[in-house]
Amino acid sequence: MPQTRPRRSALYMPGAKARALEKARTLPADALILDLEDAVGPSEKDAARRMVVEAVRAGGFGPREVTIRVNGLETPWGEEDLEAAAEARPDAVVIPKVDRPEDLAEAAARLDAAGAGEVALWAMMETPLGVLNAREIAAASRLACLVMGTNDLVKELGAEHTAERAEVATSLGICLLAARAHGLAILDGVYNAFKDREGLEAACRAGRAMGFDGKTLIHPDQLEAANRVFAPSDAELELARRQLTAFEETRAKGEAVAVVDGRIVENLHVETARALIAKADAIAKLEAGAA
């Protein structure tokens, strides 16, 4: 079953852009991914690392989940990034280009050695090997969330981005299965055309229908659509409440199946309805805390 902590929107913020980091404390994002990896050029890596550590240590993010995306350990920056992340103590450290569970174990060991405490890990799923190893990766300890890196994946597959997303459908499905099998959250990849609102809306809807908890985003203008689409709508909540009432009445009569709006309501639908209501409550609580 999906998790209840809201992760409708996770906004990437380039670690070297002071203006973006400054906005992090006020933007309506459920999660922030302060990026040291691909949104930061080689000449800015050290400055970005310092700025991100300072920002996280300064706090003030309210209920927003704060994560740092480090460079991979195979790069010249990975080791120092992990040490800095240990010092900053975000809610989670996002590990890019995870190929196998050992990549996460190694990152965890380095974070431990640097005294990071109980920081969680998020794994970027963006390489063919990583997707094929999703089942083993998702079983890693301290892992809380899988993040689809669809831009890298499309590149590695030699594929092309299409509106229908057939090029990533298999990978998305495999990672969703792995995440749910191990009780993890999972976030969909970014929508690159950040000025195309209709396209983003459709991508969010498709992602939600597939089972994603939310979407990773690249621009603040994308937050509204993701927050709205990945939240239960009023109509959904109204239906969920009617399903619960109808099911209780059916149960009182000693029967197992209710009918609402011409559709059956069984045990499992009741669980889904309850989860939906719990999610809406969690979102309301988070939004009240962020205001």
The Cα–Cα gap between 254 and 251 comes to: 5
Q: Least separation, in Å, of the C-beta of 20 and ligand COA?
A: 4
Judged on CB neighbours under 10 Å (0-12, 13-18, 19+), 9 is buried
Q: Least separation, in Å, of the C-beta of 229 and ligand COA?
A: 19
Q: Least separation, in Å, of the C-beta of 204 and ligand COA?
A: 16
Residue 19 touches ligand COA, criterion: CB under 6 A: yes
Q: Least separation, in Å, of the C-beta of 36 and ligand COA?
A: 10
Residue 232 touches ligand COA, criterion: CB under 6 A: no
Largest Cα–Cα separation, the chain: 70
Site string for ligand COA, 130-169 (x = CB under 6 A): ----------------------------------------
Q: Which of 2, 38, 210, 242 binds ligand COA (CB under 6 A)?
A: 38
Residue 78 touches Mg ion, criterion: CB under 5 A: no
Site string for ligand COA, 168-197 (x = CB under 6 A): ----------------------x---x---
Site for Mg ion (CB under 5 A): how many residues? Answer: 3
Q: Which of 3, 7, 10, 13 binds ligand COA (CB under 6 A)?
A: 13
Site for ligand COA (CB under 6 A): how many residues? Answer: 15
Render the chain in DSSP notation, one character per residue. Answer: ---SS--SEEEEEETT-HHHHHHTTTS--SEEEEESSTTS-GGGHHHHHHHHHHHHHH---TT-EEEEEPPPTTSSSHHHHHHHHHHH--SEEEEPS--SHHHHHHHHHHHHHTT--S-EEEEEE-SHHHHHTHHHHTT-TTEEEEEE-HHHHHHHHT----SS-HHHHHHHHHHHHHHHHTT-EEEE---S-TT-HHHHHHHHHHHHHHT-SEEEESSGGGHHHHHHHTSPPHHHHHHHHHHHHHHHHHHHTT-S-EEETTEEE-HHHHHHHHHHHHHHHHHHHHHHHH-
Name beta bridge partners: 198: none
Residue 122 touches ligand COA, criterion: CB under 6 A: no
Q: Which of 15, 149, 189, 220 binds Mg ion (CB under 5 A)?
A: 149
For ligand COA, the closer of residues 20 and 280 by Cβ is 20
Q: Which of 30, 152, 188, 213 binds Mg ion (CB under 5 A)?
A: 152
Q: Which of 10, 31, 34, 39 binds ligand COA (CB under 6 A)?
A: 39
Residue 44 touches ligand COA, criterion: CB under 6 A: no
Binding site for Mg ion (CB under 5 A): 126, 149, 152
Binding site for ligand COA (CB under 6 A): 11-14, 19-20, 23, 35, 38-39, 190, 194, 218-220
